[in-house]
Structure 1
Amino acid sequence: MDKTNVTRIANIYLLGFQIPQSVTLFMFFLFISLYCVTICGNLLIITLVSYSRTLHSPMYFFLSQLSVLDIVLVTDILPNMISNALVKKTIMSFSDCLTQFYFFVMVEPSECLLLTVMSWDRYLAICKPLHYTLKMNYKVCWILVMLCWICGTFVAIVNIVTISKLKFCGPNVIDHFFCDFDPILQLSCSDFTTALFEAQILGFTFVVIPFSIIIVSYAYIISTIFKMSSITRHKVFSTCSSHLTVVCIYYGTLVCVYLIPNIGQTKTITKLLSLLYTVFTPMINPIIYSLRNQELKNVAGKIIQNFLNMY
């Protein structure tokens, strides 16, 4: 066996955010609070969609799947951040680092594709209403969701296999709050040009192309909305505004972190931008959809009222 191909790094040190000692406990409870709010908010969306028959439509089905992805993402990222708030260096094995990276990479393209599917769903509902029930039935919804998960899993496996072929002989410190692609590559002592090229191809396929489809879909949607009466226009646009807000936040941070050259960009700025789409977006998604969607608020109100009536 060729010993040069053996991974020599046993443990990885995640530096995370260099938090002053005076605010350590505050950041610890803040991260715990963010995690609880995110989990509860997304579980609420899943519960509401499952509970109410009025929400058994493709739009809310896709929203519940988005919540599932967000739960997986924050569960993958936030526990280490909570630990890092108390301990300045989070120690994890190299295999645990790759496991965290696997779930992160699995979720990101899956979410990109799911947001694209949601935009296509809105396009059919607004621009092709007569064909909507035929093209967006229960079976099609499940097929589309499964394809999102399968593509995300494919991207994750390809990245993990590529990284496993590299040699890692030190250093073993990652100046980030989770095991991301570039920080892991920086630990390699072998040529990773092929890995970078592969990542660019996958990024273009599962990030840039879906984003382009979303832009085209909304161009048609907005064009159709402007042809409607003012009352109908406001009602129809309200069903799209939440999704459009989430897309702008999510893709905006992805573009800043991965697609724009980070020459001169400090590690702190990169971490803060990464924080937006790994923690902030999963937390705010349920809030955006709940506040701007009357049907969700009505169902939530009914559940609360039924609960109070029990007592």
Structure 2
Amino acid sequence: MKAHRINNVTEFFLVGFTTRPEMQVFLFFVFLVIYLLTVTENLVIIITIKLNIKLHKPMYYFLCSLSFLEVWYVTVTVPILLCHFLTQHKMIAFAFCMAQMYIFISLACTECVLLAVMAFDRYVAICIPLRYTVIMNNTCCMLMAVGSWLIGFSVAMFKAIIIFRLNFCGPNTINHFFCDISPVLNLACNDISLAELVDFILGMIIILVPLSVIIFTYFSIIEAIIRIPKERQRKAFSTCASHLAVVTIFYSTTIFIYARPKKLSSFNLAKYVSIFYSIVTPALNPIVYCLRNREVKVALKKTLQGCH
């Protein structure tokens, strides 16, 4: 007989962080400030790049795309977390949970590819500067940016299809503050070995392939910088330092969570580590780029003076 999909779960309970009322209120304001700061920072960067002609370069075009991604990255998780801080009814509908998981995974995969694209842009600018304008033309930049989003959402779709086919017949408690892959997989009532394997393989591909590109480009960049005059080395390093800092923060936490073949043994640890790559990192990225990039700081200052 043909097997039918069984799904007795209509909603999930998100455990979150704490049940103490005073801590709930405190955490609400902490995450609210972080969320508003993140959205504001990234929108300011997008507006600054749009309004300053000097920043109409491939590097800042990709930075604008990254900032746009970061706004949605926090918006897909933090608002519902804020609602749960103020209520004891920490339920999320099954369909909404699946949608949240898919969108979050898609954005994470897209960021992996986009960071590799930004590294390639720096590679061309420093290693083959005479051909930079030819290689990184408007068409190429658009294709690379759009391609990053298509690859990210396509990989996430394969992951989601495997998970959507699982049976959920109870329990329905997710030990997390949003619907992430591992906690949701742990609630399936049938064999999840295939789903875990597919998730692990696709996770390794979407993490290691872009990371390999980044490592290769930075080895080439360092080799090229060593050969140029010392007075130009500092400027060359400064254009890469901010991107390298963002890559380090993002990949160090992402690899810890997703590049593992088995279910996480400590969901409490995973839950707190997830805060860094899903909430803290999007808040830090604009600050890192502004502090380490003189062009962005000058353009931002002019934009703020113009608004004033």
Note the C-alpha offset of 1:22.
2.5
Taking the aligned partners of 1:274 and 1:262, their CA distance within structure 2 comes to: 17
Aligned to 1:283: 283
Deviations 1:199-227 (CA, angstroms, capped at 9, x unpaired): 12211221111111101110111111112
Stretches (4+) displaced over 4 A? 1-4, 260-265
Note the C-alpha offset of 1:3.
7.8
Taking the aligned partners of 1:7 and 1:193, their CA distance within structure 2 comes to: 19
Contact 1:15–1:84 at 8 Å: present in 2 too? no
Percent same amino acid among aligned pairs? 38
Aligned to 2:101: 101
Which structure 1 segments of 5+ residues have no match? none
CA RMSD of the aligned region, Å? 1.8
Deviations 1:70-117 (CA, angstroms, capped at 9, x unpaired): 111100011122122223552011100001001101101110000000
Taking the aligned partners of 2:261 and 2:20, their CA distance within structure 1 comes to: 30
CA gap of 1:269–1:89, structure 2 versus 1, over 3 A, is farther
Work out whether 1:156 is the aligned partner of 2:156: yes
Taking the aligned partners of 1:178 and 1:155, their CA distance within structure 2 comes to: 20
CA gap of 1:152–1:261, structure 2 versus 1, over 3 A, is closer
Partner letter of residue 37 of structure 2? Answer: V
Taking the aligned partners of 1:31 and 1:251, their CA distance within structure 2 comes to: 22
Contact 1:69–1:107 at 8 Å: present in 2 too? yes
Contact 1:167–1:189 at 8 Å: present in 2 too? yes
Instruction: Give the length in aligned residue pairs.
Output: 308
Partner SS, residue 77 of structure 2? helix
Aligned to 1:300: 300
Contact 1:98–1:179 at 8 Å: present in 2 too? yes
Note the C-alpha offset of 1:258.
2.0
Taking the aligned partners of 2:306 and 2:44, their CA distance within structure 1 comes to: 16
Taking the aligned partners of 1:18 and 1:88, their CA distance within structure 2 comes to: 11
Aligned to 1:123: 123
Partner SS, residue 92 of structure 2? strand
CA gap of 1:219–1:201, structure 2 versus 1, over 3 A, is same
**TM-score under structure 2 length normalisation:** 0.95
Work out whether 1:269 is the aligned partner of 2:269: yes
Contact 2:197–2:261 at 8 Å: present in 1 too? no
Aligned to 1:61: 61
Which range moved further: 57-66 or 158-167? Answer: 158-167
Partner letter of residue 78 of structure 1? Answer: V
Note the C-alpha offset of 1:305.
1.8
Aligned to 2:79: 79
Deviations 1:14-46 (CA, angstroms, capped at 9, x unpaired): 001125322222211111111100000000111
Q: Aligned runs of 1:69-218 on 2, under 5 Å? A: 69-88=69-88, 90-218=90-218
CA gap of 1:159–1:260, structure 2 versus 1, over 3 A, is closer
Note the C-alpha offset of 1:4.
4.5
